[in-house]
Amino acid sequence: MKMMTIGKAAGKAGVGVETVRFYERQGLIEQPPKPINGGYRDYPEETVRRIRFIRQARELGFSLRETAELLSLNADPSTDCADVRERAQGKLLEVERKAAQLDRMRLALERLIAACPGQGALKACSIIEALKGGEGVAVKPTQDKETTP
Amino acid sequence: MKMMTIGKAAGKAGVGVETVRFYERQGLIEQPPKPINGGYRDYPEETVRRIRFIRQARELGFSLRETAELLSLNADPSTDCADVRERAQGKLLEVERKAAQLDRMRLALERLIAACPGQGALKACSIIEALKGGEGVAVKPTQDKETTP
DNA sequence: CTACGCTCCGTATAATAGTACGGTGTCAAG
DNA sequence: CTTGACACCGTACTATTATACGGAGCGTAG
């Protein structure tokens, strides 16, 4: 039988063996049971998919905790549907916010590139200006008196 | 004259004073010169914008190093235009890749939500399946013999 | 059956990104 | 002039996210 050992699984997912173990310890992926005879663990394809998902989510700026929350939406097909739905909607908002920011950055880069090639000195294609909208959670005001001292 | 001290700047940007200092040490923002008489530093609005940009970029999964690279595109309006352009194009690719992934996740969440509300048991609206494309940089193969041992 | 590579497991170390602390100096209100 | 809040600065600590190490065990090729 073709066993997928942890090394194979890690290779397929594009991470190191230690990273797989780390995710197991963090509860992001389930550690397959050790065979009764006491040999090596056999990893299912599902684990590889989960690891890849985790990497992608990380690249999109989700923490491991947030990634676990995303995975938990997937994990239980039997759990309270309304609850899953609610959490999914929360995540969707987060995703949409990120997407909007990313789109602003994309536009800014495109403008920068467009303004660059010819001959001018590309005066002020501010990338910074691109990401001015959509402040995340309301940060503590810290008494913002601003222009009224 | 209305001085913007580090505390005010941090408050406006929605971060703590220590974070501002940290970014200064990392070279992401410039530390304003200390007044000759030796008082407090006066932070320009530009710094607030930069900090906000940094936070947004971080939320989109860019490391501080990558964020610095993004900022560097903005910083020098006099530098070699072709160089800036090239780097901007590299970043644009990254951003587009992220956007594509994010879009897949958004669709998956939408499908999940759509499949959820009624009454069924939402069999297999796999979020994981959503992010299967676009493997980033080719990870070291580690001799991927796969199904041929 | 032996050699080699890999697994297993606990623990240690590292890199990144902040956050906190403590002593001293500065400013502005009272 | 005193007092309270904040700036300044170096250093220390924390959390997150991995990576590395070392010794013992397993398993397959030769």
- Same domain as A84, residue A48: no
Give per-residue pLDDT as tens, B28-59: 999 999 988 889 999 999 999 999 999 999 99
Asked whether residue A100 falls in the same domain as residue A54, the answer is no
Q: Is residue B85 assigned to a domain?
A: yes
Whether B94 and B58 map to the same domain: the answer is no
Q: Is A31 left (phi over 0), alpha (psi -120 to 50) or beta?
A: beta
User: In chain B, which residue ranges form alpha helices assigned H by DSSP?
Assistant: 6-13, 17-25, 45-59, 64-75, 81-115, 127-130
Domain-embedded: residue B140: no
Taking residues A53-59, report their average pLDDT. Answer: 97
Same domain assignment for residues A7 and A58? yes
Q: Using a CB–CB cutoff of 8 Å, tell me whether A106 touches chain B.
A: yes
State the total domains in chain A.
2
Whether A107 and A85 map to the same domain: the answer is: yes
- CA count, 13 A, side-chain hemisphere, B15: 22
ipTM: 0.86
What is the helix (H) or strand (E) element at residue B77, kind and residue range? none
Nucleotides on strand D with an atom closer than 7 A to protein CB? 6-9, 16-21, 25-29
User: Are residues A57 and A13 located together in one domain of the fold?
Assistant: yes
Alpha-carbon gap, residue A42 to A40, rounded angstroms: 6
Hits for CB < 7 Å against strand C across A residues 14-53: 17, 21, 31, 34, 40-41
With 0-12 / 13-18 / 19 or more C-beta atoms within 10 angstroms meaning exposed / middle / buried, residue A39 is: exposed
Question: Is B133 part of any domain?
Answer: no
Q: Are residues B37 and B85 in the same domain?
A: no
Same domain, B10 and B40: yes
pLDDT (mean) for B120-134: 62
Domain that residue A89 falls in: 76-117
Residues B40 and B82 in one domain: no
For residue A87, what is the nearest residue in chain B, using CA coordinates? B113
**Closest residue, by C-alpha, to the C1' of C6:** A7
Chain A residues close to B102, C-beta within 8 Å: 60, 95, 98-99, 102
Q: Are residues B80 and B35 in the same domain?
A: no
Indicate if the pLDDT at residue A74 is higher than 80: no
Taking the Cβ of residue B70 and every Cβ of chain A, the question of whether any pair is shorter than 8 Å is answered with yes
